[in-house]
Structure 1
Amino acid sequence: MMDELDLLKKDWQKKEVNLPRLSYDEIYNMIWKKSSSVVRWIFYISIIEFLLPHLLYLLPSFRDEMNYDFARQLGINNWIIALTIVQYVVAIYFIFQFYKRYREISVLDDAKKLMKQIFRTRQTVKHYVIFCLGMVLLIFGVFIIGMALDENLAATLNLTTENVDPVQLKWILIGVMTLAGILFTAVLAGIYFLLYGLLTRKLYRNYKELKRMEA
């Protein structure tokens, strides 16, 4: 049995000699190009995500639905405008950060610096996702607070309350809004983790490979 194992080892060593061996620089260049491509896609997706609501607004059906100003009826319009401005400013900041990370990675020629940029990019994506999901929950929270503070929510929303207790209807609507906020945030989180999570996992694999090379 040992003789057979020795023969197999020798045979494999002979084959290994004929296999192409990649140099350190060749492996680094492969990882560098893959990392640069991943960060470029993160940048592109963040731009598409930012522009998509504005493109949808060009559709008449979507624009007609937006004409129903729920926030103004609840008296929280100024809060929603303020949150929207904050969301725009921070989203543009993150998009700029993704572009900056892409430009920085594109010109690197050092493995340790590339590892550092990969780590920073993954952290930036993580903070961006947390911010976006946090803003969604915050906006839903403002709507829920506005509904809770409204003394006659049914009248504000022009709802018929025949044979229905207005207070009970109010809390049913608040419950529906709360559930909608949780479900919407969960779906959005799934989309984020599917898109950005897939890309950051690729970056993490590159990071681990670089770390192994530098060990």
Structure 2
Amino acid sequence: MDELELLKRDWKKKGNQMPKLGYDEIYRMIWKKSSSIVKWIFLISIIEFLLPHLLYLLPAMSKSIAVWKGLGLGNFLLASNVVQYSVVLFFIFLFYKRYKEISSLDNARQLLSNILKTRKTVKYYVIFCLSLIFISFVVMAAGIYLSDNPVEAMGYNYNLDNADPIKVKKTMIATVLLLGTIVTAVMGCIYFLLYGILLKKLNKNYKELKEMEF
């Protein structure tokens, strides 16, 4: 059991007999823990934003971009990147704003409000990121459907002269959608590990503040 739990239990047992300093100490510890959690959320979001740019240096990423262009989806790729950068940078700004607000708070009710805002911001951020990932795969599946020769457009050199082109398209579309579902699910698990654990701790701080306030 950490120092905060011990102090909080002692404060509850003594009730009104506990000096004001006991309440203030507990509040400061919750405030510091909350500030640290939001700081980590902010830092992780920056790392998550920068990491894909390092992946672009890999040959596989260059081939992936070529596939999008081969399917006639170059404009969508450009537009989605613009939207992604704009929205993600906006969320990073919000995380930084939440961190600065919590770092300068001296009021328990304001801290409660800010914790709620942070939880909502993270929730919307995760929903946006996962939605964008899945939509990208759906759009790629649509590009395959509309392409006259999706195999060639995607840069593959398979000899499919004797294959039914409709079946080939259906197989490719099903594969892309299945892959999209798997990737979205895996990323959802990663987001849960990165942000879910931090939000759980933040939610615990919120409940502790509610118990103290009311």
Q: Same fold (TM over 0.5)?
A: yes
Q: Which residue in the other structure is 2:62 paired with?
A: 67
- Conserved in 1, the CA contact under 8 Å of 2:91 and 2:125? yes
Query: In the alignment, which of 110, 113, 118 is matched to residue 115 of structure 2?
Result: 118
Q: Contact between 1:144 and 1:177, CA under 8 Å: does it hold in 2?
A: yes
One-letter identity of the residue aligned with 2:143: G
Structure 2: unaligned runs, 5 residues or longer: 1-12
Q: CA deviation at 1:159?
A: 3.1
Number of the residue aligned with 1:147? 144
SS at match of 1:26: helix
Aligned to 1:11: none
Amino acid of the structure 2 residue aligned with 1:203: L
The 1-side partners of 2:91 and 2:39 are apart by: 13
CA RMSD of aligned residues (A): 1.7
User: Superposition pairs for residues 1-215 of structure 1, below 5 Å?
Assistant: 23-58=22-57, 62=58, 64-68=59-63, 69-157=66-154, 158-215=157-214
Larger Rg: 1
Tell me, what secondary structure is at the counterpart of 1:115? helix
Range 82-91 or range 166-175, more displaced:
166-175
- After superposition, what is the alpha-carbon deviation per residue over 1:73-116, rounded to whole angstroms, capped at 9, x for unaligned? 11111011101110000000000000000000000000000000
| Partner Cα separation in structure 2 for residue 93 and residue 52 of structure 1 | 17
> Aligned pair count?
194
Contact 2:27 2:108 in 1 (8 A): yes
| Deviating more after overlay: 101-110 vs 156-165 | 156-165
1:156, CA displacement in angstroms?
Answer: 2.7
CA contact (8 A) 1:154 1:166 kept: no
| Match in the other structure for 2:6 | none
- TM-score normalised by the chain length of structure 2: 0.86
The ranges of structure 1 where at least 4 consecutive aligned residues each deviate by more than 3 angstroms after the TM superposition are: none
TM-score, normalized by length of structure 1? 0.86
CA offsets 1:13-45 (integer angstroms, 9 cap, x no match): xxx88xx98711000000000000000000000
- Which letter does structure 2 place at the counterpart of 1:81? L
Post-superposition offset of 1:166: 1.7
Pick which of 22-31 and 152-161 moved more: 152-161
